[in-house]
């Protein structure tokens, strides 16, 4: 005969009920869940905010705006704490973030692709803002707003108007000598083909050539080229990973690990550019020109040493082998980047 179940006081529930109540209380306390004990999608018992069977988030849509805002704010600050810690490690400790990620210690890291996308977004946002700023007249502070700079030289507004007027005045044509016995006979031969003999390709090339000399066309081409840079560099990432995979084919690392290396190194380049230019701009603004030059020199030296230290840490080769492979990698990737720049410019020119 099976033993009878123990009697529980009215205020105490059986163990299963206690477990269910504990799970429900835990989910209810978590403000990012709806507090359900079972998944609304597949019915599986929930042991956390996500279903262990289908992965659906037990999200509560029936909440106040203040609740959602506070949760989003908490998520942002949590992300920022991890994010800025990764940026500091990536900027000043070459190869450590990549080595820890490849070793499986990833809980404290922002995923490499997300880190790259966010950093590249901020970098190109600043680049676009800078490239779209129209040039302005530089006021000469010594004249309290009554002078401008033309070609780096101070000039008053009257002088500026006079100089612009001279530039816009018609160029005098040389006198035509009178026809005489000593005047050579010159026959003018048209350089271009007759319009009827030109092919469609020749007409199109002639039109594009005339457009290429116009400032509006050149400005638009420059804007489109800058806008295409993020896509071009994103396409170059797998190629860089392929280069390191070939150079370190005996390291035992798979291609995805080399792709993580490529993402982290390119993220460092964006960070380094913003870090260097930001400090240089700050020191120039406060009048510390000497400090600005030394800061730029130190940052450029760190940029040269960084990939050597990173590859040395990740693959453990000797210093001469690491230096040689770094030079080969830099040369090969620079040639590929140059080709990618040229190809991008040509494609944009043909599509405009």
**DSSP per-residue codes, 164-197:** HHHHHSPPPPPPPPPP-TTPPP------SPPGGG
Mean pLDDT of 46-70: 74
pLDDT greater than 70 at residue 18: no
Token pair 């995923």: residue: 111
Identify the residue whose tokens are 């956390």. Answer: 48
Residue 31, number of CB atoms within 10 A of its CB: 13
pLDDT, position 99: 95
Q: Say yes or no to pLDDT of 160 above 90.
A: no
Are 321 and 339 in contact by the 8 Å Cβ rule? The answer is no
Phi, psi torsion values for 16, nearest 5 degrees: -60, -40
Which residues, 6+ apart, have CB-to-CB distance to 151 below 8 Å? none
pLDDT attached to residue 29? 45
What pLDDT is stored for residue 184 in this prediction? 54
Burial of 45 (0-12, 13-18, 19+ CB in 10 A): middle
**Could you tell me which residue, 148 or 79, shows the higher pLDDT?**
79
Q: Structural domain boundaries of the chain?
A: 15-62, 78-124+215-351
Per-residue CA distances from 73 to 28, 69, 115, 150 (Å): 20, 6, 19, 50
- Spatial distance between the Cα atoms of 155 and 61, rounded to a whole number of angstroms: 65
Residue 32 · residue 71 · CB < 8 Å: yes
Specify which residues 150 forms β-bridges with: 153
Average pLDDT of the chain, as a whole number: 77
Phi, psi of 307 (to 5 degrees): -65, -30
pLDDT band at 177 (very low <50, low <70, confident <90, very high): low
Q: Among 26-30, 263-267, 342-346, where is mean pLDDT lowest?
A: 26-30
Residue 4 has pLDDT above 80, yes or no: no
Count, in order, helices (H) and strands (E) of the chain. Answer: 10, 2
**278, 130 contact by CB (below 8 A):** no
């Amino acid at each position: 005969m099976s033993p009878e179940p123990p009697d529980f006081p009215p205020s105490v529930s059986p163990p299963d009920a206690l477990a269910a109540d504990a799970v429900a209380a835990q989910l209810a306390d978590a403000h990012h869940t709806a507090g359900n004990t079972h998944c609304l999608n597949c019915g599986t018992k929930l042991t956390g905010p996500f279903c262990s069977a289908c992965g659906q988030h037990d999200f509560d849509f029936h909440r106040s705006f203040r609740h959602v805002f506070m949760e989003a704010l908490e998520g942002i600050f949590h992300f920022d704490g991890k994010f800025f810690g990764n940026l500091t490690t990536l900027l000043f400790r070459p190869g450590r973030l990549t080595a820890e990620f490849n070793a499986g210690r990833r809980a404290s890291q922002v995923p490499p692709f997300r880190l790259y996308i966010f950093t590249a977004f901020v970098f190109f946002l600043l680049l676009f803002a800078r490239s779209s700023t129209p040039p302005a007249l530089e006021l000469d502070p010594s004249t309290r707003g009554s002078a401008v700079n033309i070609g780096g030289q101070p000039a008053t507004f009257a002088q500026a108007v006079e100089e612009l007027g001279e530039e816009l005045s018609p160029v005098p044509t040389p006198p035509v000598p009178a026809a005489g016995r000593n005047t050579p006979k010159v026959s003018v031969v048209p350089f271009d083909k007759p319009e009827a003999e030109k092919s469609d390709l020749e007409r199109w090339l002639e039109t594009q050539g005339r457009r290429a000399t116009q400032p509006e066309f050149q400005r638009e081409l420059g804007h489109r080229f800058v806008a295409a840079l993020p896509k071009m560099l994103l396409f170059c990432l797998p190629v860089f990973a392929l280069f390191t995979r070939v150079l370190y084919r005996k390291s035992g690392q798979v291609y995805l690990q080399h792709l993580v290396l490529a993402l982290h190194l390119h993220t460092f380049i964006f960070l380094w550019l913003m870090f260097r230019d930001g400090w240089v701009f700050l020191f120039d603004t406060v009048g510390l020109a000497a400090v600005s030059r030394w800061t730029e020199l130190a940052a450029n030296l760190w940029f040269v040493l960084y990939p050597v230290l990173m590859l040395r840490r990740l693959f453990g080769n000797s210093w001469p082998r690491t230096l040689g492979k770094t030079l080969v990698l830099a040369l090969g990737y620079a040639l590929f980047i140059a080709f990618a720049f040229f190809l991008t410019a040509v494609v944009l020119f043909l599509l405009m």
